[in-house]
Chains A and B, each alone.
Chain A
Amino acid sequence: MGTTRTRKAPPAEVDRKAARVAEENYFERLTANMNLTAGLFDPLTNRTYDSSPRNRVTKAVDDRSSEVKSLIKRFAERDLMRAYEEMPKNETVLYEIVHKELLGRPSVRVVVAGAAFSPVEDLVRSGASRTRIPASELIRVKDQIVRSDHVFYYVNAFATTSWEEDARRVLVGNNYVISLSDVFQGAWRTYYAPDPRWRAAARIFDLSSEEEKVEAVRRWVTRHTFELLMDELTEDTVFDALGYAIPIIREAFEQIAAEDRYVRFDTTARPYRLTRVYG
């Protein structure tokens, strides 16, 4: 039987400061994850390379911040400097994993890239925006990152608002895979293009801890009483919404059911779900 679920949560409005803070948080988390990574697999050579700091070159690509400046000049009427300080910069950070063979020069084998996206024009003009980032913008930035055919690129694109549906269709190429991240109702979530080449590299773009994820699931459930009442609060629904692994969702479900006497964790049929009970 087909579902009659009809509603999709509208994107939350993000203002300049919130976007800026989200962007900074994103790069902090990405850097932290990168520092924990010991090696990276290169699908082009089928080899795993040492990604410790001595084999890693970090580059901040500032190309797009000039776009922000020009938009401010064009649309902002006063306090241009203040507006620029408040604005997210749409930065891109590249971590180049360099490898040196016994003979020959060191060369870049794998690149891990993180790029932030914000609807800059809206933020400059009105100070806030709900606009999702489209695939076209992602492709444009991807082309700035993916420059060599001999290097494999793991790319994460972070949107301070959220992503348009079409963005999911441009995530895989010969020498790159892209994941999409955003913050949804306070929860960091990442969508990975289904691709076997991800391997352990996917962990780099997993931007929240397990505790944060469990907490995010709990918050999500609290905000979705309607789905609970309609017996639609399944682990799949939460997975679709937040993208977290099923065991984490189950863990959160168990915790919720243990604390709330009106909620039961139903594991009699798959997908597991939370249901309303009145005792």
Chain B
Amino acid sequence: MQLKSWLARVAVPLGLILAGVAVAVYFVENPGGAMAARVLSYPKVIRLINEHLLMVVVSSSLAIAAAVPLGILISRPALRVLGIIIENIINVAQTVPSLAVLALFMTILGLGFKTAVFALWLYSLLPILRNTYAGIKSVPPDVIEAARGMGMTPLRILTRIELPLAYPIVMAGIRTAVVVNVGTATLASFIGAGGLGMMIISGISVSRPTLVLCGALLSAIMAILFDNVLGQVENYLLDRG
């Protein structure tokens, strides 16, 4: 039983990783021309995947670390007005295309990995912040009032009532942010940050569909993998309370 549930948990991520390896091996072995073969070598593919992963993990972690506390902060009754203002700013900011965000910060911070991480961080901040705020705000007022009436301190209400109830919504925001982040990170190659976007961009510039396909497939698999793993983390934490 224990083994079975454990297998069920690792089956999907393992399958996705295998699919990723298969895709990489297939395209490296069948690059479809010498031009594409220059990009499609094992060391290069591995390096690009690594860069991509690093960008996503660093920017997403920083975004979670910043957005969740900020979301909690602006949901406090004392900061109600600020919360509404920030919520609206977020909604507007979210409409700015991700490529534009990257381009904008390139002009300010220059080319490279750090700029890409910063832009990705900023862009992931929004869905997490919005969901944290909305999640806490979605807790029924009578539940909070019951908690207050029974003598729970505001901090206890936050940790015992509000956060557990908001948790699924917060997690949904984090998953959305990370999945979008994997996709957006392909654009980071435009500002010289590397990653799987490199394959796609070179593929476009030299008209080699195999390159585009390989980069796109690998980043898509990576997005699904992140989503699945985060979903499992969510369920695990939910079971533990």
A binds B: no
